[in-house]
Amino acid sequence: MLLMSTRQPLALIITLALASLPGVYRARAPQFDSTALLTPQPTSFAQCPQFFANGQPPALSPRPQLRELCYEAFAVLHSGATRTPVFVAQRLNRQSIEDADEKRAKRFFADARLPSGERAELEDYKNSGYSRGHMAPAGHMPTPTAMAQSFSLANVVPQDAQHNSGAWSKIEQNTRFRALS
C-alpha cells in the first residue's frame, strides 16, 4: 500500500497489486451477488475523479483488458489478463474512517461489469491455498453499500492467508491510524 500524504487533512491511498500468482484460477462457473451494484456505477475514472490526487486520474495509455471501475468509496484499474486489480485509489480522512464502522459484508462476488473471461470468479479461490485479500480494505468503508462493493472480486488479489491476516492487516490498521492523525 502506498500512502501519499500532503499538508491537507486528506490522505490519498493507492494500493498497487503488481504481481499475479500462477495457478490460482480454475473452473469459471459464473457466480454473482450483484446486490452491491444495483445502482449502476461508472466505468471511467473521469466519472470518479474524487479518489485521485488533485482530482486527476493517472494518464493511462489505452490497453486491451485494462478496465477502469468506479465504486462508491474507491476506484480500481482492473487487469483482465491477471483478473486482479492493477491499482486501487481511495481517499481517506478522519471523517471517512470515523464513519467506517459498518457491519462487515460476508459475500464476495464477481463484478458483472467485467467480461466473463476477464474477471475472477469465486471458484478461482476454492482449494487454491490463497485467501481473498482486499486492496481497498473493507475496514475503510463508510457505508453499507461501500462495504458490500469492497467485496467485489475486482478489488481482490490472491494472498497467503497468514500475510492477509498478519502483515497486510497491520498495514491497513496503520493506514487508518495515519488518516485519523
Which residue numbers are catalytic?
134
Q: Measured between alpha carbons, how far is 83 from 156 in angstroms, rounded to an integer?
A: 9
Number of H helices, E strands in the chain: 4, 7
d(CA 149, CA 63): 25
